[in-house]
Amino acid sequence: AQSVTQLDSHVSVSEGTPVLLRCNYSSSYSPSLFWYVQHPNKGLQLLLKYTSAATLVKGINGFEAEFKKSETSFHLTKPSAHMSDAAEYFCVVGMDSSYKLIFGSGTRLLVRP
């Protein structure tokens, strides 16, 4: 069975400092992994996805994530936080080829001025 665990429910950073949102996954085979962002009362926007190509995946808005098989992790990072980055972030694992997605519990990112 596939699952995904987001280790922090809330992360608070100051504007201009690095962001780290942690995600661990469990999968019986090579997974498809995604990070989505959700602003209040909005749908989801895809930040980036890993599909067994390069282990370091670059996404939109300066975000990137590194797939580490040995650690079963797919942490999301950004060198410098911006106020507009404040939102809910979901780490997601894709199930087989059906495009069914399993969502993590989410991490709320707060950015302090």
Site residues, another protein (CB under 8 A): 36, 41-46, 90, 97-106
How near is the Cβ of 106 to another protein at its closest, in Å? 5
Check residue 27 and report its DSSP letter: -
| C-beta separation of 40 from 31 below 8 A | no
How near is the Cβ of 45 to another protein at its closest, in Å? 8
Q: Which is nearer to another protein, 59 or 106 (CB)?
A: 106
Q: Tokens 């404040």 map to which residue?
A: 86
Cα 40 off chain centre by: 17
* Residue 47 tokens, joined: 């930040």
How near is the Cβ of 81 to another protein at its closest, in Å? 21
